[in-house]
Structure 1
Amino acid sequence: MKLLYIVPNINNEGGVARVLSVKTNYLIEKFGYEVHILTQNEGFSPLFYSFNSTIFYHDLLLNGSFFQFFNSFSKGLKSKIKTIRPDVIIVCDNGLKAYLVPVILNTNTPIIFECHSSKYIEEKEPTKYFVSTKIKILFKELAAKRFTKFVALSKESLEEWNVKNGIVIPNPLWFEPITSSDLKSKKVIAVGRHSYEKGLDRMLQIWQKVIQKHSDWTLEIYGKSTKNDNLRLLAEDLNILNNVVFYEPVQNINEKYLDASFYLMTSRFEGFGMVLIEAMASGLPCIAYDCPCGPRGIISQNKDGFLIENGNESDYVKAIETLIENATLRREMGKNAKLGSEKYHIDGIMETWNQLFIGIKKN
């Protein structure tokens, strides 16, 4: 069977690129699929993650004004589909243009939308004018129904969309968790790009309050920095540079979890929270804001971590202090976290994808 994935780019260190490499490699190596990936503006090179050497890469050059951009996307997409002739198309793109793929193509070929974000996601801090935001949400809701299948990463995510063509398939864990952290180091870890939706600015403000009482603890943040370097400037303004270390993305992030004692997430929006299951598989308790809409489907409250009311800074600080001060609770939650991560084993999840592809092709 021939699959075509449509994605903005895969030459980055983000979670979508990581998951796509893991899934496409498995589909090729275990099930014998032929996989094509269509990116935009040379978004397939150079690759950060390892993709199977048999994958076929295609690219669309998109630029110009809004209408020129969309016109290039529409014409280029039709041309590529005609050339590739896939059995199934999978769209992995949060951009508004992605929701128009079924309309643009108007084809009998099954088209799956793989949703990697909340319906309410904002990549930049919203202005006081909310009309455009409401229009975008309505557009997404209507367009989501046009796909053959709408795949959400969690039950909570699917409930956000309220579509009849929906199904839940979580992301798989990409490494085999052999060892666990001993949870003895005075380090906590966070992973995410320096962007508005990841909410790392909120984390720094929380950490400032934590180290007033626990100045011997360090926060390590792994993620792609921005040209403006706003987070480092904020850390400097908060006078916490001695207790925060910023790292660029690394491929062996699973090894870095083993040096930490628990994991922090302060995202404003999430589609799933891949980093949470990575941390849990490494035996780390997790603390996360209950944002739309990933963490609440992963963390079991007071069992393997803490789910904090979104934006409740004081409760978040208390949760961190609880794990810092109670090593016994850390160890208990860490064991539960590792057990909880087992349901994300790659074999079962990829068999679900395999059966989905087989089923929609037959129908």
Structure 2
Amino acid sequence: MKVTYCILGTFNSGGMERVLTNKANYLVNKGYEVNVVTTDQKGRKPFYALDPRIKTYDLGINYTDDLDRGILKRGAIYLKKQHLHQKKLAELLHTLKSDITISMFDNDASFITKINDGSKKVLEIHFSRFKRLQYGRSGLLGFIDKFRNKQDLRTVARFAKFVVLTHEDKGYWGDLPNIQVIPNANSFKRMGRAPLENKRVIAIGRLDYQKRFEDLIEAWVKVKETAPEWVLDIFGKGPLKTTLEEQIAQLNLTDVVRINEPVNNIQEEYLGSAMLALTSRYEGLPMALLEAQSCGLPMVTYACKCGPKDIIKNGENGFLVPEGDIGRIADNLLTLIADPELRSEMGGNAYLSSARYDEEAIMEQWESMFSDITKI
């Protein structure tokens, strides 16, 4: 069977890129022919290593070149690039003759089902139903967000299958006959539990509005007052790096809060930490939580849409905190800091829970779906 994935690029260190890489590598090892089609790669190497048997194609659309333009100018250019994108992708898909073509809900989602190349079209989303509304933008941008949010329902209905990550998110989409829940798999095989002895909390993610690291940094003021020997290591890059570094300096936290570049050996960083913190505004199914629990880390996280409530049982393998409650984030971190036995108990529960997300179990669901839709 031949499967083609469509995504903006594989050069970023995000969860979506990691998930795609893991699935593509798994499938090619099972004998599938796998292609990855990008629009903005620009010759950059994938951040996560793709199996050399996977064929990659870049269409050279480069949507991200226009992010700094004014909204009207950007909109006009976007329409032209959409037309070019559809033309180039159609030509390539007719050449590839895939059985399955998968959109990662990127710039191709609005038109890919119109391409009659013979492949079954699948759409997968790595955020929640409310992704477009989470920025709380006003004015023209807010109107566009609301309009596109409504259009999403029409878009997803056109696909043979629409895959969401959680049952929580499935409920937000309504009664769609083509919707299916398949969670992300663990990023790596479990190699034993972290000892949870290092006085370090880890946080992972892009340094942007979604991840809300400013709340976690503010919470660390209280943590430092009670446990000054503990440090917070944030791994990520993004547009808010300078802003977050300034906040760290203003709060006199430079000795205990560090922002680190993404690393390929992130499993080692988890194993060298005592817990994970997450303060996102929204998620799909956070890879950071899956990775942390597969290393046996207890987790302290906002109960945002969507994902944390699927992974964490409050008080068992971590703590769920109401969104925006910075004080409770700090208090729950301090509870785990002060109680090594509780840390160990929650970490053990997290490690056991991670078995539900082993790669083989998750990929069996994908292969079953592929088989079902190609028989139709």
The TM tier, using the shorter chain, reads: over 0.9
Q: Which AA in structure 1 matches 2:138?
A: K
Q: Does 1:73 align with 2:85?
A: yes
Residue by residue, what CA displacement relative to the aligned partner does 1:68-121 show, whole Å, maximum 9, x if unpaired?
11111111121111111111111113x4x3331344325653111111011222
Q: Does 1:176 align with 2:189?
A: yes
What residue number does 1:6 align with?
6
Q: Which AA in structure 2 matches 1:252?
A: N
Q: Which AA in structure 2 matches 1:11?
A: F
Relative to structure 1, the CA distance from residue 152 to residue 15 in structure 2 (aligned partners, 3 Å threshold; closer, same or farther) is same
> Which of 106, 109, 117 matches 2:119?
109
Alpha-carbon distance between aligned partners in 1 of 2:60 and 2:186, rounded to the nearest angstrom: 33
Alpha-carbon distance between aligned partners in 1 of 2:201 and 2:122, rounded to the nearest angstrom: 37
Q: Which AA in structure 2 matches 1:60?
A: L
How far did 1:126 drift?
3.6
Secondary structure of the residue aligned to 2:23 is: helix
Relative to structure 1, the CA distance from residue 284 to residue 229 in structure 2 (aligned partners, 3 Å threshold; closer, same or farther) is same
Q: Does 1:57 align with 2:69?
A: no
> Which of 250, 254, 261 matches 1:241?
254
Contact 1:8–1:43 under 8 Å retained in 2: no
Q: Which AA in structure 1 matches 2:276?
A: Y
What residue number does 1:331 align with?
344
What residue number does 1:277 align with?
290
Q: Which runs of 5+ in 2 are unaligned?
A: 67-76
Q: Which runs of 5+ in 1 are unaligned?
A: none
Residue by residue, what CA displacement relative to the aligned partner does 1:6-64 show, whole Å, maximum 9, x if unpaired?
0110122111111111111111112x100011101335631221111111111112257
Q: Which AA in structure 1 matches 2:37?
A: L
Residue by residue, what CA displacement relative to the aligned partner does 1:229-259 show, whole Å, maximum 9, x if unpaired?
2211111122211111111011110111111
How far did 1:306 drift?
0.6
Alpha-carbon distance between aligned partners in 1 of 2:322 and 2:359, rounded to the nearest angstrom: 31
> Which of 140, 156, 161 matches 2:168?
156
Secondary structure of the residue aligned to 1:138 is: helix
What residue number does 1:292 align with?
305
Q: TM-score, normalised by structure 2?
A: 0.91
How far did 1:328 drift?
1.3
Alpha-carbon distance between aligned partners in 2 of 1:71 and 1:98, rounded to the nearest angstrom: 10
Q: Which runs of 4+ in 1 moved over 6 A?
A: none
What residue number does 2:130 align with?
120
Q: TM-score, normalised by structure 1?
A: 0.94
Contact 1:123–1:197 under 8 Å retained in 2: no
What residue number does 2:353 align with?
340
Secondary structure of the residue aligned to 1:306 is: strand
What residue number does 2:97 align with?
85
Alpha-carbon distance between aligned partners in 2 of 1:324 and 1:200, rounded to the nearest angstrom: 20
The count of corresponding residues between Structure 1 and Structure 2 is 360
What residue number does 1:202 align with?
215
Contact 2:93–2:117 under 8 Å retained in 1: no
Q: Does 1:142 align with 2:141?
A: no
How far did 1:299 drift?
0.8
Q: Which AA in structure 2 matches 1:128?
A: S
How far did 1:205 drift?
1.2
How far did 1:164 drift?
2.2
What residue number does 2:201 align with?
188
Which 10-residue stretch deviates more, 282-291 or 207-216?
A: 207-216
Relative to structure 1, the CA distance from residue 353 to residue 185 in structure 2 (aligned partners, 3 Å threshold; closer, same or farther) is same
Secondary structure of the residue aligned to 1:175 is: coil
Which 10-residue stretch deviates more, 207-216 or 341-350?
A: 207-216
Alpha-carbon distance between aligned partners in 1 of 2:230 and 2:100, rounded to the nearest angstrom: 49
Relative to structure 1, the CA distance from residue 305 to residue 44 in structure 2 (aligned partners, 3 Å threshold; closer, same or farther) is farther
Q: Which AA in structure 1 matches 2:129?
A: K
Contact 1:44–1:57 under 8 Å retained in 2: no
Alpha-carbon distance between aligned partners in 2 of 1:106 and 1:308, rounded to the nearest angstrom: 47
Alpha-carbon distance between aligned partners in 2 of 1:305 and 1:101, rounded to the nearest angstrom: 41
Q: Does 1:217 align with 2:230?
A: yes
Which 10-residue stretch deviates more, 324-333 or 104-113?
A: 104-113
Contact 1:151–1:167 under 8 Å retained in 2: yes
Alpha-carbon distance between aligned partners in 2 of 1:20 and 1:315, rounded to the nearest angstrom: 34
Q: Which AA in structure 2 matches 1:38?
A: V
RMSD: 1.8
What residue number does 2:73 align with?
none
